[in-house]
Every structure is written in structure tokens, then in C-alpha cells.
Amino acid sequence: MANVENLGKLERRVTISLPRDLVEKEVDSRIRQLAKTVRMPGFRPGKVPLKMVSQQYGGQVHAEVLSDKVGKEFFDVTRAENLRVAGQPSFAPKVEGGEDQFAFDATFEVYPEVKLGDVGTAEIERTVTTISEAEVDRTLYILRKQRVHFHARGEGGDGGANTAAQNGDRVMLDFVGKIDGVAFEGDTANDFAFVLGEGRMLPEFEAAATGMKIGEERTFNLKFPDDYHGKDVAGKTAQFTLTMKKIEWPHLPEVDADFAKSLGIEDGDLTKMRGEIKDNLKREVKRRTQQIVKNQVMDALLKISELDVPKALIEQDQERLVEMARQDLQQRGVPNAADVPIPAEMFAEQAERRVKLGLVLAELVKANELQAKPEQIRAEVDEFAKSYEDPKEVVRWYYSNQQRLAEMEAYVVESNVVDFVLSKAKVTDKEVSFEEASATAQA
């Protein structure tokens, strides 16, 4: 029976002892096996003298044998003692092992006892959002703006009698800028086009262009912000001269059969189009409100649960978060993202929460049999696939990859947890608009 020392709430230590002759015998066996295939200059394969093989590879083989046998012995000890090891153990050789033994101290952490509180004491404010025809109209307006096209005044439906540049118009102009009478980088452009009101240009620039007419020239002063990305001009005041060359008004497409067809409604039926938009909005708001409620449920579970968190698991999760951050930088096209220093410490708080929540959820799922059932997973995949043009292809895509299916399974388990907590907790409903729900979910 091994002697397991208690070094703290979760930290343990156990001594692993191995008979020296057993280790040496295994080392000798592996070297003899290696000698059958090893290659060395001047010798045919398998004909290298055993002594030379031992001199060349003995240290490496000895280390491998010790690692293998210590690892197996540690596994046997922890299994016999019914210890759930969290993370990887660290091994340190003991000098007092004796001439006939190798001895190592294995230091490790165990999984904590998770004390779940009374879920019935949790207070949850459930967000409820109703999709009205007004939300459908707002979405239609956004879709129309995405398909806007521009015309000169008097074309494509007129655009009004006012020929001066207005908010929403697309203008084309030449500009020249100088600071104290001296040119600077980016000070001049010809046929420069942008849409007024989109915020692409500095406010003073847009304000000066607004109200101008074709052929008009206007001079104004513009102070660059102190934190402007162009460091050479940041905080300085420049004098710009604008010459308006073209003004086009924005024409939104009409909501007609052609517009419906452009959204994928083959027969151009406007009622069907509005129905599909409403269904999509319902799915979207369901996803967002579920995320809001899920966050509240997770916060509530952490508040009512008691446990110590293994440092080893936190460190592992910090490494995962660092790698995820690095991959995100690479996807954003950041130069040398693979070499950018990302301190693991910046993720310490996030990692601790993630690990703690994972342990709490695992205990709750086990205690209340909240595992994902195959039919639940399929129903969720089918629901997700509805928002795509070819739902069957999306379903096949999920079921052709175990990792993607595992992610969906994890999502279903979380949903089961949320439903379970909501069935027990003190829940109050709060009606919010679609915009509020969107903003809260993204916060």
C-alpha cells in the first residue's frame, strides 16, 4: 500500500520505488533489440557491437525505461488508491532511494469535491422578446440599404430638387491639404468618393463637404485628433480645399417581387418573404435570449457551489486560451502572430472561471442525468440547419465529423443544464426589444 501524503487541499505526494535490477534488465533488453537495426558508419545494419550501441544510446534508453516504468507505477498507485489526478504529475528523483532502488517523488493534484448548493435559491431574470411586424420592417430597410445604388439627381426616380450634397449621398471630389503651407503624406487626392454620413471621414471633413454643389470649391481648417493613426499629422491643424465633382443620391430598391427573388423567394411572393424574415428573426432572437439566460444560469451555479480549483487545470486552460488568441491573430492577418508574446497570466481569471464552471457542470450533469440524448442532438442540428439554403447538406456536414458533433453535444448538455436550473430556480420574465436583446447578448 503506497503512502499518499496530503500537501494541501488538493496537492498530494507519493513515492515511487523501482528495483534497480528490474530497470537495468529492461534497459539491457531494449539495447539488444535496438542493436538489431541500428546503423553506424563502418558496420552493416545489425552488426554494430553491443558495447558501442550501449555507449551511444544507453543514456537515452535508460531515461525512457525509467519514464515508462515510473509512469506505469504511478498509474497503478493512483488507481489502487482511487485518486482522480488533475493535470500532469511532476516527478523528482530521491537521493535516498538506496543502491538497489530508484526512487521518485510524484507530486500532483486531485479533482476537488464539488458541493452543489440548492438550485431552488437561484434567481434568474429571463429575457423575453416578441418579434413584431415593426422588426420585420426594420430588417427589410437594412436589406434594402445593403442593396442601395446611386444615381445623379433627376435619374432613377428623381432624388429631389435640392442639388447640394446631403447626408447619405455619394460624393466624388478632389482635395488638397497643407499644414503651415507645407504638403504632407495623404494631403492630395483626385476623384475621391465616399458616402456622407457613414463616418469614413473625419467629422470636420464630412461637414465641409455637406451642402456643396457640383463645381463648388470650399476651404476649411481641420484639426487632426491627438491619437490619429498618422503620427506625422496627429494633433496638428491642416487647411483643406475641396472641389466637388459629382453628387449621387441613394436609391433604395422597391420591395417588390424582384426584391423578394433577390432574397431567395423563387416565386417573388412578398407575404412568404416577410414570413421567412420573421422566422429568421425568431431564430436569431431565440439564440440571443438563450445566451443571455445561459450566462445568468452559469453565474448562479458558480454562486451556489463550493469547490477548490486545481492549479494544474487552470494552467492548462491558460495555455489553451493563449493558443486560441494566437490563432485569432493569425486569422486577422497580424504579421508574425506565431511569435507574438502573449502572457498566460492575462487569462488567469478567465481560465479559473472556465475550469470551475466545467467542474460544477460535470457534477450537476452526473447528479441529475442531464447527458445529451442522440435525439436531442439530431433535433438541434436540424434546427440549426433550417437557416441554410440546403439543410440536408448542413446535417450531413455535422454528422461527418466527430469533433463538430461533439461540439453540438456539448451545446445540448448546456441547454439541458439551463432547462433544469430554470425548472427549479426563481424565474422572472423581462420583456425587452430585439435591439436590447442583441446588445445584451453581445456585451
Query: Of 152, 249, 243, whose CA–CA distance to 191 is shortest?
Result: 243
pLDDT confidence of residue 384: 86
pLDDT tops 70 at residue 97: no
Section 215-225 average pLDDT = 95
Q: Where are the beta strands (DSSP E) in 10-113?
A: 11-19, 85-93, 101-110
How far is residue 237's CA from residue 225's CA, in Å, rounded to a whole number? 9
pLDDT digits over 286-295, tens only? 888 888 899 9
Q: If DSSP codes are grouped into helix, strand and coil, which group holds residue 273?
A: helix
Local confidence band at 14 (pLDDT 50, 70, 90 cut-offs): very high
Q: DSSP letter at 431?
A: E
Q: Is the pLDDT of residue 152 over 90?
A: no
Residue 364, burial from CB neighbour count under 10 angstroms (0-12, 13-18, 19+) = buried
Interaxial angle between packed helices 348-368 and 311-331, expressed in degrees from 0 to 180 and rounded to the nearest 10:
110
User: Residue 220: in which H helix or E strand, if any?
Assistant: strand 217-223
pTM attached to this predicted model = 0.70
How far is residue 375's CA from residue 372's CA, in Å, rounded to a whole number? Answer: 8
- Please give the backbone phi and psi of residue 372, each rounded to the nearest 5 degrees, phi first: -75, 130
Give the number of other Cβ atoms within 10 Å of residue 404's Cβ: 13
**pLDDT band at residue 433, thresholds of 50, 70 and 90?**
confident
Q: Say whether pLDDT at 434 is over 90.
A: no
Task: Tell me the mean pLDDT in the region 339-360.
Answer: 93
Cell of 320: 489553451
378 has a pLDDT exceeding 70: yes
Query: How far, in Å, CA of 151 to CA of 137, rounded?
Result: 24
- Position 56, amino acid: Q
Residue 377 has pLDDT above 90, yes or no: yes
CA 313, 317, 321 angle in degrees (round to 5)?
Answer: 170
Mean pLDDT on 263-286:
92
User: Which residues, 6+ apart, have CB-to-CB distance to 435 below 8 Å?
Assistant: none
What is the DSSP pairing of strand 149-152 with strand 11-19? unpaired
Give me the pLDDT at residue 39, please: 85
Q: Which residues are 427's β-sheet partners?
A: 124
When pLDDT is averaged across residues 89-117 and rounded to a whole number, the result is 88
Cβ(126)–Cβ(294) below 8 Å = no
- Angstrom distances, CA of residue 160 to CA of 53, 146, 168, 170, 197: 93, 22, 13, 15, 18
Q: Which of 214, 207, 218 is nearest to 153 (CA)?
A: 214
Judge whether residue 328 has pLDDT over 70.
Answer: yes
Give burial (CB, 10 Å; 0-12/13-18/19+) of 73: middle
Size of the chain, expressed as the number of residues it contains: 443
**In whole angstroms, what is the distance from residue 232 CA to residue 125 CA?**
51
Confidence of residue 96 (pLDDT cuts 50, 70, 90): low
Residue 1 has pLDDT above 60, yes or no: no
The pLDDT tens digits of the residues spanning 28-54 come to 999 999 988 888 888 888 788 888 988
Residue 205 Cα to chain centre, angstroms? 37
CA nearest 202: which of 237, 169, 232, 174? Answer: 237
CA 413 – CA 58 distance, rounded (Å)? 51
C-alpha distances (whole Å) from 359 to each of 12, 249, 319, 366, 371 are 19, 58, 18, 11, 15
Phi then psi dihedrals of residue 256, to 5 deg: -135, -170
Q: What is the mean pLDDT of residues 351-372?
A: 95
- Residue 164 C-alpha cell reads as 447640394
